[in-house]
């Protein structure tokens, strides 16, 4: 199982980015996929997650109303649309699949390699 994250970059505050996470073609549908982020010197933290079957979503309070997670079943891909970016959103963003416990914990079975998002004026 491989997860390939992409779409990171450098933007100014208030701008937008869309991250993508493509799962390898050998996978079956994951129950839940999520996005996490890790800023320098900080622990990895939950950002958003989506249930593959019905599209139910959960968000961290810090990104509610600004970020949207979605999935494309045909492409085995999960997206994170990030709007109104702030400097504090700067981090490496990771996608993950199949949590062993709750949706918002870091205990997922599969992880992508991470993509850097930098928000700076």
pLDDT at 61: 97
pLDDT at 24: 83
- Render pLDDT for 49-92 as a digit per residue (tens, 0 to 9): 999 888 999 999 999 999 999 998 888 899 999 999 999 999 99
- Render pLDDT for 13-45 as a digit per residue (tens, 0 to 9): 999 999 999 988 554 567 899 999 999 999 999
pLDDT at 29: 63
- List Cα–Cα distances, 28 to 1, 3, 5, 38, in angstroms: 9, 13, 18, 27
* Inter-residue contact 7 to 70 (CB < 8 Å): no
Tell the residue number behind the tokens 């205990």, with chain if given. Answer: 107
User: CB burial class (10 A; 0-12, 13-18, 19+) of residue 61?
Assistant: exposed
């Amino acid at each position: 199982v491989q997860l390939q994250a992409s779409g990171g970059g450098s933007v100014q505050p208030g701008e937008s980015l869309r991250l993508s996470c493509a799962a390898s073609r050998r996978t079956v549908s994951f129950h839940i996929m999520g996005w996490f982020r890790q800023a320098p010197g900080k622990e990895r933290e939950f950002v958003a997650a989506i249930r593959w079957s019905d599209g139910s979503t959960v968000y961290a309070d810090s990104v509610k109303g600004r970020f949207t997670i979605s999935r494309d079943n045909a492409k085995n891909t999960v997206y994170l649309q990030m709007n109104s970016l702030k400097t504090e959103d700067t981090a490496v963003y990771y996608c993950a699949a199949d949590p062993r416990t709750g949706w918002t914990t870091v205990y997922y079975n599969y992880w992508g390699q991470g993509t850097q998002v930098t928000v700076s004026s």
